Amino acid sequence: EAGVTQSPTHLIKTRGQQATLRCSPISGHTSVYWYQQALGLGLQFLLWYDEGEERNRGNFPPRFSGRQFPNYSSELNVNALELEDSALYLCASSPGRGTPGNTEAFFGQGTRLTVV
Amino acid sequence: DQQVKQNSPSLSVQEGRISILNCDYTNSMFDYFLWYKKYPAEGPTFLISISSIKDKNEDGRFTVFLNKSAKHLSLHIVPSQPGDSAVYFCAAGEMNRDDKIIFGKGTRLHILP
């Protein structure tokens, strides 16, 4: 069974551009979570989608946005990129409404975004 | 304001010995705690969790201890194996809230041969 898949694995953008990151959850999972892992900051919660709706977001500016599609895959969009947005962006999925930390939450390998 | 702190950025332990990774938290509302393990170029994987109604949870070589009064938890790995070399993230949240959990910055564990 395929795990959580993220694309692309690496993305290089220039400051001011937009980046789109994609995540496909494990089949049957309806919740998708996005995290940012920036150097020295650990994993920081970005967004949580469940059943196509945004359920919660972390302390990030509005230029971080996303959506969840009917097939439960998700996109993370980062507009007006800044150098500080360079980080590893991780997606996780779980079967339904619940914390991302339960035993049924799985992470993808991440997308490394570099802003130059 | 760091609500979940892992004060040791790295730790080296001899193979076969005990690895102890520590984590402190400040938010007294946290009642659910987790440890994740992350290898390079991979996403974090769930390792073990504990709720605040317990003070210990064991799963094979991994044991998590929770000291609520000190707002401290620790992960013990006994015995340490080379495959345990990874970054370990401590995380905390509230069980009755379906939203975000807070992660620490991680501790890099290096198991020495």
Structural domain count, chain A: 1
Please name the amino acid found at residue A102: N
Residues of B in contact with A30 (CB under 8 A): none
Q: Which of A43, A58, A98 sits opposite B44 (nearest CB)?
A: A43
What is d(CA B92, CA B6) in angstroms, rounded to the nearest whole number? 12
Q: What is the CATH number of the domain that holds B11?
A: 2.60.40.10
Q: In A1-116, where do the E strands start and end?
A: 5-7, 10-13, 19-24, 31-38, 42-50, 53-57, 64-68, 74-78, 87-94, 106-107, 111-115
Q: Is the minimum CB–CB distance between A95 and chain B shorter than 8 Å?
A: no
Q: What is the CATH number of the domain that holds A90?
A: 2.60.40.10
Predicted confidence (pLDDT) per residue in B57-87, tens digit: 999 999 999 999 999 999 999 999 999 999 9
Residue range(s) defining the domain that contains residue B16? 4-112
pLDDT at A51 over 70: yes
pLDDT of B46: 83
Sign of the C-alpha dihedral, residues A40, A44, B44, B50?
Answer: positive
pLDDT above 90 covers a percentage of chain A that reads 52
Residue of A nearest to B40 (CA): A109
Residue from A26, A35, A39, A43 whose CB has the most chain B CBs within 10 Å, to mutate: A43
Q: Which of A41, A107, A109 sits opposite B105 (nearest CB)?
A: A41
For chain B, list residues with pLDDT below 50: 98
Arithmetic mean of pLDDT over chain B: 89
Residue range(s) defining the domain that contains residue A42? 5-115
